Structures are given as structure tokens and as C-alpha cells.
């Protein structure tokens, strides 16, 4: 069992990592990447974290780097490795993306360095494709052609996936968005399958991929089936790390607010699952149009309902609004799942009522809990009751905050989640449930004064 000098790879397959606070958003996953890594660099048993993805780390000044990574365990190969940078893994000028072997350079440069014990990887839209390695497998739809990949896939997937394939290090996929989860992952050339998918829902999945580069060039339908567990872990509290809990007894003039995004933004008018939910649960009953809805919505989708929609705000501005709010209604992008929305709103001091199809595995609260509502009538009846008995609302929220979020601010719950994943998948790593923020990272630039 390895309990010290643990070396971890970290990244997001399919998209860049962000460290500049002004660029970080809750809706696109960048906040969760940031919070997870912020927590990992503070574990005393972790001595080295290598970024496996491109990022804006080098845009931070020395003080910002020390603030994020006080112990100095984080290593960015794209800015801190001599003779290596972003251009090292991208096609040369006028070079065909499909024919360029440069994506292999990440592995070739680092294969004998760093000796990682495991990797923790999120996934983004750039990885939502069957193929990540260009000019390798046979194309499924075009006979006698090899697979082609888009530029974003080459740039943000190919180097990392090849590195995983060649090193075979055990890695864990973190999935906070059900849109990036499938019953069957047909990731044809991701040969090194994740040990487990750390998530907010439990189910068995399959992963279809070839097993090696050798013997599979030009091939079609040589994938084998592997079994991967999608595991509910409580990871939805990730965005609450380092954040305060707010008192429900504070003045809350806003009765009902919904921070909710369009289900499939940018696809034009037509059926939208979340809009249908709003029609059933909100518009039909809110005749005075008092409910406030914040999020990204297409104008043609909300036509006729514009009065309720207040536009898109940064998550910090939404949180300020929530701290003035008494109630919200939580619905996920996919039925049955849990999400981070209940934690974000509860932390703000809001009662997070849940629709019947939310968290049907009852990982957050029991099946018959008060915040689970069976119908719109049940929702409005409960809000009226709590408004007539505000002390009941305050007691309800404080109780849930203590039970569900008391360990969220420190972030130590992340170590417990990872330890349980390591144990379930027979990876002999154990993280202590403590943090070390000793300032050891050195400033590289010299002071002018």
C-alpha cells in the first residue's frame, strides 16, 4: 500500500484546464476541475501532480501560483519542461492533421519521467467521439479509409489518450455531467480503460475498444467489451470546496428562483425537456410572474415565456441572488441522476425541492423526505406551509446543511471518495484525510524593489 510520495496525473480529456479565476464557470465544468485539483495539491501524501492537459497555468503570476499550489507539487509540462511546449504535440504548419505523428510526442518525451501512480481525469465535449487517434483504425462508414479526427480532438485528446494507452497507468474518469456518460462507451482507440467512473449515479457500463495498436491498424470491428462501473460517490459537492454556508434566517425577499439552463442549448426551437418542466411546474402556477429564472436559453426556445427569464449570470452573481432566495426546484439534465445543484442552492440557504425523477437512487435524501415533491400542487403547498412557519424552513435548511455539507468546505471528502475508488478497484494507494498548506513553492521571478 502506497501512503506517501504519491504521484498523480491530472487533466480533462477533450478540453483545456483553466486557472484564471475570471474564466472559470460552473456551467461548463471548469469550476469542478479547479476545485478538485485545488484539493489534490494540498494532500500531504501527494508529492507530485503532472498536468496531462494544456491549460492557462503559465498565465498566472508567481503569487497566484503559490496561492493555488502552496507546496509546489504541481508541474505543467507545457510551460515548465525545457524543450517542450504546445507546438510539440500539434501538427506543423501546412501538415495534414490526420497524418501528423506529433500527438505521440507527449508520451515519447515523458515516458521515462515522472512515473505516475494514477491519474484523475475529467472529460469534455472534445472527447465525445468514437476515435481519438488519427490515421489508425479503419473508418466504419467509409470502406478502405482510416479514421479521421477533428482538430479539437487532435489538440485536446490525441496526446493524452496515446499517453494513457502506452503507459497503461490506472486512471479514474470523473463524470459530473450525464451528457458525457453512456450505457455503452464506444471509445474505439482508448485501450487503457478507466478503473472506475466517479460520478453521481450508479450503474454498470461497457467500454468497447481495441486492446493494442499492434494488429489493429486499418481494422474495423476488432473492439472487445470491457466492463466499467459508474459509481455514485457524493462528488456532486465538488463546487462547494472552499465556500461558505449561508444562514437561511437571513432576509430573503425572493420567494422562488431557478438557476437552470436549457437542456440542449443552441439547437433552436423545438422540444426542450427543461422548458416542459417549467411549463408544468412554474408557468402554470406563477400567474404574477414572480419566479426568476437565470441561465443560458435560446430566444426562439423561450418565445412566449420571456418574462420569466432574466438572462445568463456568472455563477458568483447567481449565488448572490440565491442568498436572497427561500426556495428553488431541482431537476437534472437526465432523469434519475443527482447533480451539484442541490448542494449549491442548499449552501446558499435555499430549500432545494426535488422533482420526482431526480436522484431516484436516493443518494442525497430518503425517498419520503420533505424536500421531495410529488407534484406542482405538493410543491406550492409546502412553500405556503414554510412561509407561514418560517422557523420550520430555517430548521429544515440548517439541518440539511449540517448533515449533507458540513464536510464540503474543507474538501477532505474528496480524499475519502478517491480512497474508496482505489479500494474497490484494487489500486494500492491510500490518501490521508488531512491537508497541508505549507508554503514551499518558490517565486521564480525576482522582485524589482
**CATH code, 254:** 3.40.50.2000
Q: Are residues 127 and 222 in the same domain?
A: yes
At residue 421, does pLDDT exceed 90? yes
At residue 344, does pLDDT exceed 70? yes
What is the structure's pLDDT at 247? 97
Q: Are residues 219 and 104 in the same domain?
A: yes
Min mean pLDDT across 157-166, 235-244, 369-378, 421-430 is at 235-244
At residue 400, does pLDDT exceed 50? yes
Q: Residue 63 domain-assigned? A: yes
Q: What is the DSSP letter of 224?
A: E
CA distance 310 to 93: 45
3-state secondary structure of 106: helix
Region label for 81, one of left (φ > 0), alpha (ψ between -120 and 50) or beta (otherwise): beta
What is the structure's pLDDT at 82? 93
At residue 232, does pLDDT exceed 60? yes
CA distance 387 to 366: 23
Sign of CA dihedral 108, 109, 110, 112: positive
At residue 339, does pLDDT exceed 90? no
At residue 448, does pLDDT exceed 70? no
What is the structure's pLDDT at 332? 77
Phi, psi values for residue 423, rounded to 5°: -65, -45
At residue 158, does pLDDT exceed 60? yes
Q: Are residues 254 and 143 in the same domain?
A: no
At residue 444, does pLDDT exceed 80? no
At residue 268, does pLDDT exceed 70? no
Domain that holds residue 271: 244-405
Tell me the average pLDDT across 343-364: 94
Q: Are residues 295 and 277 in the same domain?
A: yes
Min mean pLDDT across 89-103, 195-209, 412-426 is at 89-103
Judging by DSSP bridges, how do beta strands 325-330 and 254-259 pair with one another? parallel
- Look at 340 and 389; give whichever has higher pLDDT: 389
CA distance 18 to 414: 20
Tell me the average pLDDT across 68-73: 97
Q: Are residues 103 and 200 in the same domain?
A: yes
Q: Residue 384 domain-assigned? A: yes
Q: Residue 194 domain-assigned? A: yes
Q: Residue 306 domain-assigned? A: yes
Q: Are residues 137 and 250 in the same domain?
A: no
Do residues 102 and 89 touch, judged by C-beta distance below 8 A?
yes
Phi, psi values for residue 172, rounded to 5°: -125, 130
Percent of the chain with pLDDT over 90: 71
Q: Residue 289 domain-assigned? A: yes
Tell me the average pLDDT across 96-118: 93
Q: Residue 444 domain-assigned? A: no
At residue 446, does pLDDT exceed 50? no
- The half-sphere exposure of 74 on its side-chain side, counting CA atoms within 13 A, is 27
Q: Residue 352 domain-assigned? A: yes
Q: What is the DSSP letter of 372?
A: B
Q: Are residues 339 and 191 in the same domain?
A: no
- The CA–CA distances, whole Å, from 248 to 12, 23, 30, 394 equal 36, 30, 28, 5
At residue 270, does pLDDT exceed 80? no
Tell me the average pLDDT across 354-362: 92
Q: Are residues 259 and 394 in the same domain?
A: yes
CA distance 54 to 150: 17
> For 124-173, what is the HEC assignment?
CHHHCCCCCCCCCCECCCCCCCECCCCHHHHHHCHHHHHHHHHHCCCEEE
Tell me the average pLDDT across 94-110: 92
Q: Are residues 353 and 273 in the same domain?
A: yes
Q: What is the pLDDT of residues 202-227, one digit of tens each?
A: 999 999 999 999 999 999 999 999 99
Region label for 311, one of left (φ > 0), alpha (ψ between -120 and 50) or beta (otherwise): left
CA distance 243 to 407: 11
Residue labelled with grid coordinates 487532435: 154
Q: Residue 1 domain-assigned? A: no
What is the structure's pLDDT at 142? 86
Q: What is the DSSP letter of 174?
A: E
Q: Are residues 46 and 141 in the same domain?
A: yes
Q: Are residues 231 and 270 in the same domain?
A: no
- Look at 77 and 25; give whichever has higher pLDDT: 77
Q: Are residues 187 and 262 in the same domain?
A: no
Number of domains the chain is built from: 2
What is the structure's pLDDT at 449? 38
Nearest to 417 by CA among 274, 235, 208: 235
What is the structure's pLDDT at 345? 95
CA distance 347 to 316: 13
Phi, psi values for residue 140, rounded to 5°: -75, -40
Amino acid at each position: 500500500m502506497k501512503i506517501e510520495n504519491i504521484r498523480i496525473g491530472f487533466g480533462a480529456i477533450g478540453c483545456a484546464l483553466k486557472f484564471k479565476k475570471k474564466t472559470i464557470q460552473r456551467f461548463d465544468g471548469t469550476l469542478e476541475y479547479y476545485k478538485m485539483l485545488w484539493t489534490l495539491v494540498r494532500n500531504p501524501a501527494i508529492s507530485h501532480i503532472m498536468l496531462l492537459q494544456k491549460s492557462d497555468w503559465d498565465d498566472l503570476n508567481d503569487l497566484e501560483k503559490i496561492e493555488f499550489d502552496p507546496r509546489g507539487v504541481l508541474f505543467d509540462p507545457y510551460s515548465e519542461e525545457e524543450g517542450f511546449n504546445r507546438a510539440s504535440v500539434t501538427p506543423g504548419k501546412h501538415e495534414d492533421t490526420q497524418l501528423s505523428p506529433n500527438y505521440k510526442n507527449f508520451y515519447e518525451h515523458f515516458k521515462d519521467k515522472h512515473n505516475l501512480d494514477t491519474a484523475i481525469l475529467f472529460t469534455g465535449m472534445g472527447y465525445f467521439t468514437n476515435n481519438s487517434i488519427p490515421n489508425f483504425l479503419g473508418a466504419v462508414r467509409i470502406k478502405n479509409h482510416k479514421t479521421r479526427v477533428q482538430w479539437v480532438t487532435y489538440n485536446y485528446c490525441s496526446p493524452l489518450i496515446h499517453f494513457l494507452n502506452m503507459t497503461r497507468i490506472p486512471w479514474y474518469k470523473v463524470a459530473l455531467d450525464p451528457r458525457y456518460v453512456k450505457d455503452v462507451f464506444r471509445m474505439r482507440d482508448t485501450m487503457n480503460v478507466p478503473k472506475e467512473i466517479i460520478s453521481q449515479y450508479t450503474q454498470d457500463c461497457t467500454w468497447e475498444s481495441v486492446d493494442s495498436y499492434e494488429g489493429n491498424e486499418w481494422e474495423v470491428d476488432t473492439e472487445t467489451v470491457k466492463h466499467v462501473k459508474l459509481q455514485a460517490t457524493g462528488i456532486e459537492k465538488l463546487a462547494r470546496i472552499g465556500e461558505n454556508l449561508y444562514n437561511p434566517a437571513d432576509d430573503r425577499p425572493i420567494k422562488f428562483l431557478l438557476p437552470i439552463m436549457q437542456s440542449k442549448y443552441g439547437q433552436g426551437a423545438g422540444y426542450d425537456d427543461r422548458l416542459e418542466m417549467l411549463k408544468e411546474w412554474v408557468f402554470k402556477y406563477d400567474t404574477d410572474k414572480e419566479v426568476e429564472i437565470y441561465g443560458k436559453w435560446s430566444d426562439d426556445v423561450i418565445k412566449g415565456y420571456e418574462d420569466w427569464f432574466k438572462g445568463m449570470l456568472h455563477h458568483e452573481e447567481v449565488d448572490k441572488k440565491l442568498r436572497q432566495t427561500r426556495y428553488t426546484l431541482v431537476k437534472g439534465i437526465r432523469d434519475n441522476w443527482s447533480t451539484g445543484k442541490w448542494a449549491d442552492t442548499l449552501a446558499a440557504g435555499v430549500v432545494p425541492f426535488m422533482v420526482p425523477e431526480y436522484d431516484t437512487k436516493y443518494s442525497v435524501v430518503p425517498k419520503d423526505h420533505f424536500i421531495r415533491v410529488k407534484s406542482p400542487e405538493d410543491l406550492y403547498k409546502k412553500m405556503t406551509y414554510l412561509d407561514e412557519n418560517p422557523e420550520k424552513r430555517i430548521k429544515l435548511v440548517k439541518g440539511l446543511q449540517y448533515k449533507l455539507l458540513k464536510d464540503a468546505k474543507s474538501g477532505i471528502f474528496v480524499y475519502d471518495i478517491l480512497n474508496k475508488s482505489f479500494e474497490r478497484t484494487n489500486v494500492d494507494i491510500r490518501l490521508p484525510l488531512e491537508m497541508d498548506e505549507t508554503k514551499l513553492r518558490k517565486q521564480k521571478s525576482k522582485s524589482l524593489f
